[in-house]
Structure 1
Amino acid sequence: MADSIYDTCYCKYFNRFYSLCPKHRLMAQMEATPETDLEEDPDYGWVNLPDIILEDVFTLLYPKERHQASMVCHHWYQAFYSPRAWETFIFKGRVLTKKKFHPMKGWVREVCPRKTQVCLQKLGFLFKRIIIAPTCDFYSLHVFLSILDSFLEMKPLPVLNTFHFTFACESRSHAGKNVFGTGGKILEEITSLISRIKGLKNLTLRQLLLDVCDLVDMLEPALQSSAETLTRLELINCSKIKHPIPGIAQFENLQRLVITPQHLDDEVVLLLAGMGLLDLRIIQDQYTCDAEHVSADAWRLVKESAPFMRVTLEVRDLCTDKLLLQPHAPVHRIIFSSPYSLVAEEDILSIIHYYHQTLHTFAQVGWPRKHGSRSFHNRGDEMLVSLIRGCPKVRTLSIRERISTATLLILAKECRGLKKLLVRQNALLKKRDWPKQSEWSKSFYDWLNVTSRSYDLVNKEVTKIIGYPWRPLRDEEFKWLRV
């Protein structure tokens, strides 16, 4: 009877682990051995799992589930207090909450101060990263921030070096969508909290949408506490309108900066180049306001003063705007992760003109919003081939739009230096729809006609050309692709 109870407890948490990571369930099924052999193995059983697997499971569970799992057996109790299980603390949903009755609202969940204090007292010394996810319960958010701020004032967390905060700036109701910024008490708690984290290495602030008057002193607490230690900074839509932030250049050892274009201008870019920044990522999303690009003269000076700087342009989330190109910038990567992103012909021509000597990665990731046309004249096959021809240094090419097998073969032939060629299997059309070009020989044209009529032949030829085993990716694989 006791064994069946224990098996039920073990299975409960591993079923959640497998639901979050289906890959591990498939591997477990593939590597399964007959039950009779397992029963004879003295190391078989949930209680004898390796510590590293238990830590993986605990990192995927909510804090309440981790506490429940720790009461299953002594082995799991020890895994509960492992540093790896608590190195990342995420505040979201029902974490550290309890039910409370309000006369006007009824039963609601609010952050429990006692739970929060006990959690910080007993487990806070293990936290390396604190991530605050978007939440519409601003009262609970304020309570958690104030408790964490007071705790850090009395007892700093020794290994905490990362703080991520994302504000829920959008609400939906019957009247429609409403976008607003933060400020007031929440902004005061955030700035006070940042000032108390000494030796911060990674700071992320997203969707604050502040007024200009609040934005002026936003980075002062971070400069006072972590000016020499901060290496990664992410500022996404910190203001509602265009407002450059030259104070970024005061972080002496900054290596990566992720920022939206409304916070950049010629002065900021030149300051970043002077401090030796290596990785600059310019992001656009659905909350990014209208902004202008940095001047071409400023980018030319950046190339001279900071030859090792690499710039990434990315359109992400649900952004429907066109990619804001930075003329003559040292752009190393261009990424389209928004499902609404479409690459127009004029964009390809501008990319070739501006970045033909620097572009190494051109990637479309995620699923598109629309299937796209099957007609050759309405697809972007010719534009992609022009891009590869015009930017010979491209080493990573990821395509989510519909292309034909003939186009895939031409891309592989044109750019022999490709190290990663990623294509969706469901977007690959078995077609030979290219008209004969004047520079093609008869043997090449015949080879293209024959090979493009079979998926197997295409896979073999692409494998032969690029020099490693190749196949198109299934949609599930392409969905989780990271470049």
Structure 2
Amino acid sequence: MGWEDLPTILLEDIFSFLSLSYRYNCSQVCRSWYETFHSPVIWYTLTFDGILFTRKRFHFYRGMERIFNPYRTQFYLSRKGEHLRRLIIKPIIEYNNMCDFLNMLTNFINYRDHDNYPFRYLEEFSFTFYVLISYDNDLNNQNAFMNHYYQESNVFIRGKKRYYGTGGVILQTLRRFISSIRCLKRFHLNNLFLGSDSDIGACLDELIEHSCETLQYIEILNYTSHTIPLYIVGLFSNLNTISISSHSLDENVLLLFANHLTHLYRLNIVQDELTTPCRYPDTVWSEIEIILRENKRQWFIQMITQGKCKCEPYWPGSPAPVRAIVYNTCSIKVDKTSIYTCMEQYKTTLETYAHLKSMCRVYVPRSFLERADTAYIGAVKTFRYLHTIAIKERISTATCLLIAYYGTRNNLKQFYLRRNCVILRNEYRKYLFNENGDNNEFIHIWLEKNCRQYNQVEDAVTILFGRQWKMLTDWEYNQIRV
């Protein structure tokens, strides 16, 4: 079987990962690939990354730069725009190209009649703004960052850093486009960093007008530069998943979600380097628990720390139904105090505890007293419903065995561990295992027998889980999705 005989479903997946130019080149290979090129499936997703639909032009002072090519965009929309289901705009620094692209899409929609909507299958729109950051001690001209699309920039200062949010013509262009699309199911709006109170309803007011009843998932991260509760999110009645920054919530917004959003199941509270940490009163979680119990509903709250964030989140109070804690960052090391706090607050609810991203950019101690080995063992003992744990920092082989031993006695199903962080040691020779009927002598013999080689550790954990288990390489660890 040759390349031309590959199954169509496999070719469609391969073509969907290629850029537009490579798709066209592949379509010239054979008849089968040409037919795949015209399949609607490979045109479901359009990602504008600042290079697509642009061409190079030499500027005498700035050198080579990319400018927007409206002819290519119009040609694409007229031929393949009807198949579009996902539109993603990545953070790009060329604001003028981004605005021209949004204007082209808006004009393409408004040119048609109201009954002849061109994006009938469009379900998801994702927009992430590129937040410019400068330093107060930078002697460069800060106006060089701005272009003619900036009329009134939203500037927010934290320490020596100066953040430039969106506003002016950029925000107006985005609002015009959102007001022209309708019937979305998933919506992402990140890093707008609005500072003016008059712009708080920007983009969301237009979204309510055309997608209030159809929207099921919404992601609003760093919508404002300071703490402002977003009550408007609670007006989308059919939401089942919300991802929102912590400073966009307060006790009244949470109560609005509990009372009005009857289909809401998953609430992701996200914190990154642009987020202002915010704490909520513990009493609000007791009220939410009563409301959910009366309506026979449940919430799945996920605490996510991502990006370059270097601080721990403010943990909600004990009645909060926190089911997952995820650190998707390489700037935070494991804190034993944080694990003990979670053990105290969420011992009856937590199901997932994960530190992702293998490349840790902080100091990781080798000493047993400074490591979090005992905290991890206490976690798998305490969290009765913990089914997934991911460890990226240094632990010993004996700790790995004990985590699997006590975890399988409860509910642990997925145990992800970086091979490069495991050291061949046994620090429990003087430890007395006498909890819940433990056989102290048997455990010590078992640890000494299996902690001396990596393959012996993997074989022992495989027996405990009843399936094949192995430590992960850094590349495999980075592919984890929880």
Q: Same fold (TM over 0.5)?
A: yes
CA distance in 1, matches of 2:3, 2:465: 45
Give the AA of the match of 2:275: T
1:433 aligns with 2:432: no
Whether 2:348 is the aligned partner of 1:357: answer yes
| 1:82 and 2:74 matched | no
Say whether 1:326 aligns with 2:323: no
Alignment of 1:396-435 (within 5 A): 396-416=388-408, 417-434=411-428, 435=430
The amino acid across from 2:470 in the alignment is R
- Find the counterpart in structure 2 of residue 35 from structure 1: none
Could you say what secondary structure the match of 2:329 adopts? coil
CA offset at residue 443 of structure 1?
A: 2.3
- Offset, 1:386: 1.6
Q: Residue type of the partner of 2:391?
A: I
Paired residues for 1:459-470 under 5 Å? 459-470=458-469
Letter in 2 for 1:322: E
1:288 aligns with 2:275: yes
In the alignment, the residues of structure 2 paired with residue 73 and residue 195 of structure 1 have an alpha-carbon distance, to the nearest angstrom, of 42
In terms of mean alpha carbon deviation, does 44-53 or 178-187 score higher? 44-53
* Secondary structure at the counterpart of residue 393 of structure 1: coil
Match of 2:364 in 1: 372
Partner of 2:183: 199
Q: Which moved more, 1:184-193 or 1:367-376?
A: 367-376
SS at match of 1:336: strand
| 2: CA distance, partners of 1:206 / 1:281 | 14
Residue 350 of structure 1 aligns to a residue whose secondary structure is helix
Output one character per residue of 1:95-150: Cα deviation in whole Å (capped at 9) or x when no partner: 01123344543542211111111111111001100000111001101100101111
1:47-446 matched pairs, under 5 angstroms: 47-155=4-112, 156=117, 157-171=119-133, 179-211=163-195, 212-274=197-259, 275-276=261-262, 277-289=264-276, 291-306=277-292, 307-328=297-318, 329-367=320-358, 368-370=360-362, 372-416=364-408, 417-434=411-428, 435-437=430-432, 439=434, 441-446=440-445
**1:178 shift after superposition:** 5.1
Q: Which amino acid aligns with 2:283?
A: D
- 444-453 or 379-388: which moved more? 444-453
Distance in 1 (CA, whole Å) between partners of 2:173 and 2:2 is 47
Contact kept in structure 2, 1:371 and 1:402, CA below 8 Å: no
Give 5+ residue unaligned stretches, structure 1. Answer: 1-43
Query: Does the CA-based 8 Å contact 2:174-2:203 persist in structure 1?
Result: no
Report SS of the residue matched to 2:325: strand
Corresponding residue SS for 1:468: coil
SS at structure 2 position matched to 1:347: helix
- State how far apart, in whole Å, the 2-side matches of 1:389 and 1:141 are: 51
Q: 1:442 to 1:103 in 2, by over 3 A?
A: closer
Where does structure 2 lack aligned partners over 5 or more consecutive residues?
141-160
Name the Cα RMSD after superposition. 1.8
CA distance in 1, matches of 2:182, 2:31: 36
Gap change, CA 1:150 and 1:310, over 3 Å in 2: same
Shift of 1:451: 2.1
Counterpart amino acid of 1:89? L
Instruction: Point out the more displaced range, 170-179 or 260-269.
Output: 170-179
Cα distance change, pair 126–385 in 1 and its aligned pair in 2 (3 A)? same
Answer whether contact 2:182 2:211 (CA < 8 A) is retained.
Answer: yes
Query: What is the DSSP-based 3-state SS (H/G/I as helix, E as strand, rest coil) of the residue aligned with 2:476?
Result: helix
Amino acid at match of 1:423: L
Letter in 2 for 1:292: C
Please state which structure has a larger fraction of its residues in helix. Answer: 1
Give the conservation status (yes or no) of the 8 Å contact 1:273–1:309: no
Contact 2:317 2:345 in 1 (8 A): yes
Of 228-237 and 382-391, the range deviating more from structure 2? 382-391
TM value normalised by structure 2:
0.87
CA distance in 2, matches of 1:322, 1:444: 35
- 8 Å Cα contact 1:64/1:95 also seen in 2: no
CA deviations 1:393-451 (Å, max 9, x no partner) are: 11111111111111111111212221101111111111111231262522222222222
Q: Could you tell me which amino acid in structure 2 is paired with residue 199 of structure 1?
A: C
**Does structure 1 retain, via aligned residues, the 8 Å contact 2:333–2:362?**
no
Contact kept, 8 Å, 2:43 with 2:80, in 1: the verdict is yes
Tell me the alpha carbon deviations over residues 272-327 of structure 1, each in whole angstroms, 9 at most, x when there is no partner. 112221000011111112x3222111112222222411100011121111122111
For 1:480 and 1:189, how far apart are their aligned partners in 2? 36
CA distance in 2, matches of 1:216, 1:158: 26
Alpha-carbon distance change, 123 to 451 in structure 1, aligned in 2, over 3 angstroms: same
CA spacing shift, 1:205–1:80, aligned 2, 3 Å:
same
CA distance in 2, matches of 1:58, 1:447: 51
Shift of 1:200: 0.5
